[in-house]
Amino acid sequence: AQSVTQPDIHITVSEGASLELRCNYSYGATPYLFWYVQSPGQGLQLLLKYFSGDTLVQGIKGFEAEFKRSQSSFNLRKPSVHWSDAAEYFCAVGSANQAGTALIFGKGTTLSVSS
Amino acid sequence: GAVVSQHPSWVICKSGTSVKIECRSLDFQATTMFWYRQFPKQSLMLMATSNEGSKATYEQGVEKDKFLINHASLTLSTLTVTSAHPEDSSFYICSAINADNEQFFGPGTRLTVL
């Protein structure tokens, strides 16, 4: 079955500390991977995506993610977290072979930032 | 960048009434749009695929007679929640696919059924 797992429901990080949000996927076809951020009551903002090529992708707001095919993972990282990064983060997967298909989302990880 | 809008952004209605939510691609044409639903503290779940000029394709467990989808033009898809009940209260998010097969999400519509 196709699925996305985000093992951490809630993470608290001190401001200025590094961050890693985990994402594992199960997908029958070549995956197209995404990370989105959602602030309370708001829509989704795309942080970054991976389709092919370099397995380390850079996104907006200083985020990056690394695709590891052997581990079926696409973890999101940021070297220094800011208080404004507190939000809900969703990992999602789509089909790279059928572009423009609906995405399968993980259940999300809530990030809290402490001062 | 491509922009997708939704209207209204939030709506409160009485149980038994119908509510229409619009999803518009503002600066591109979209032959395909998706409707997702997000319950509080939950992930987005695909409800249906809306294709311009044809019937929508619903995911398993989604009642097509309750959630009416109309994709009458290349820039507009509407979702009508018919005879809404409190359990239909949710955050509804649409997305639209552009010519490069990129997916852009709308800001969402918060529906509260009393």
| Chain A residues near residue B101 by CB distance under 8 angstroms | 99-100
pLDDT in tens, B78-112: 999 999 999 999 999 999 998 888 889 999 999 99
pLDDT in tens, B49-67: 998 888 899 999 999 999 9
User: HEC string of B64-106?
Assistant: CCCEEEEEEECCEEEEEECCCCHHHCEEEEEEEECCCCCEEEC
The dihedral built from the CA positions of residue A52, A53, A55 and A58, taken in this order, carries a sign that is negative
pLDDT in tens, A33-81: 999 999 887 888 999 999 888 899 999 999 999 999 999 999 999 999 9
Count of CB atoms situated within 10 Å of the CB of B45: 15
Give the best residue of B103, B111, B112 to mutate against chain A (max A CB count within 10 A): B103
Are residues B43 and A90, on separate chains, in Cβ contact within 8 Å? yes
Q: What is the DSSP letter of B15?
A: T
Are residues B43 and A94, on separate chains, in Cβ contact within 8 Å? no
| Chain B residues near residue A100 by CB distance under 8 angstroms | 32, 97, 101-103
